[in-house]
Amino acid sequence: GAGVSQSPSNKVTEKGKDVELRCDPISGHTALYWYRQSLGQGLEFLIYFQGNSAPDKSGLPSDRFSAERTGGSVSTLTIQRTQQEDSAVYLCASSPQGFGTETQYFGPGTRLLVL
Amino acid sequence: DQQVKQNSPSLSVQEGRISILNCDYTNSMFDYFLWYKKYPAEGPTFLISISSIKDKNEDGRFTVFLNKSAKHLSLHIVPSQPGDSAVYFCAASAPYSGAGSYQLTFGKGTKLSVIP
């Protein structure tokens, strides 16, 4: 079946502009995660959605970052007033129920470059 | 501070030989460990995992060893094949401890090159 998809695959923007990144999880997966990978770094947890529960936003680096998940499926990560340090690959993952031992299935990522 | 460390950014191995990728962690709450493999322009894909009640888990050519006292794990690939060339990420979580149990904490990755 279809895996996790993300769009756009690449995004170049100017400092100060807002960007929206989209994630389509695997159908039926109730848990959705956002990570980012800055150059030379490992993946950094940003936010977690599980079903109708309140999301865990503990990894968001600043209040310029927000995310929502509509209808328990598609998720959008929004970065307002982008800064150059926001340049990174933003990865979305999903898993069936959000249990800690479940495999997280990753999308190909969105490469964001802030000029 | 980095809670999961992969101190070798790269590793080159001859085809057919053993590849050993190492990972160290500092958070004693971690009780579940995973290896992910990543090709360029693709997302990471799950490779193998191990829980803290085991010290070894094997899946075909891939074996993960866990040394809890040393807070160290390693991934062995034998025999190594050119298709194994990728970046390997070590990750850890605390699924048995409750809060934030789903969060994966990743190392920076090791780029493996298998030379034909």
In this structure, the strands spanning B32-38 and A31-37 are unpaired
Residues of B with CB under 8 A from a CB of A: 2, 4, 6, 32, 36, 41-46, 49, 51, 89, 91, 93-96, 100-109
Query: Does the structure show a pLDDT above 90 at A21?
Result: yes
CB contact under 8 A, A45 and B32: no
CA separation for the pair A58, A48 (Å, rounded): 9
Looking at residue A1, its pLDDT comes to 57
Looking at residue B41, its pLDDT comes to 87
**Paired residues of B90 in beta bridges:** B35
* Residue B102 CA: distances (Å) to CA of A14, A44, A101, B32, B58: 34, 13, 8, 10, 23
CB contact under 8 A, B107 and A42: yes
Structure tokens, B85: 């060339």
pLDDT digits (tens, 9 = 90+) for A31-65: 999 999 998 888 999 999 998 888 999 999 999 99
**Paired residues of B5 in beta bridges:** B24
Looking at residue B9, its pLDDT comes to 95
Q: pLDDT below 50 — which residues of chain B? A: none
Taken in order A81, A85, A91, A93, the sign of the CA dihedral is: negative
What residues contact residue B60 under an 8 Å CB cut-off, 6+ apart? none
Counted across chains A and B, CB pairs separated by less than 8 A come out at 66
pLDDT digits (tens, 9 = 90+) for A63-101: 999 999 988 799 999 999 999 999 999 999 999 988 888
> What DSSP letter does each residue of B32-57 carry, written as one string?
EEEEEEE-TTS--EEEEEEETT-SEE
Looking at residue B101, its pLDDT comes to 76
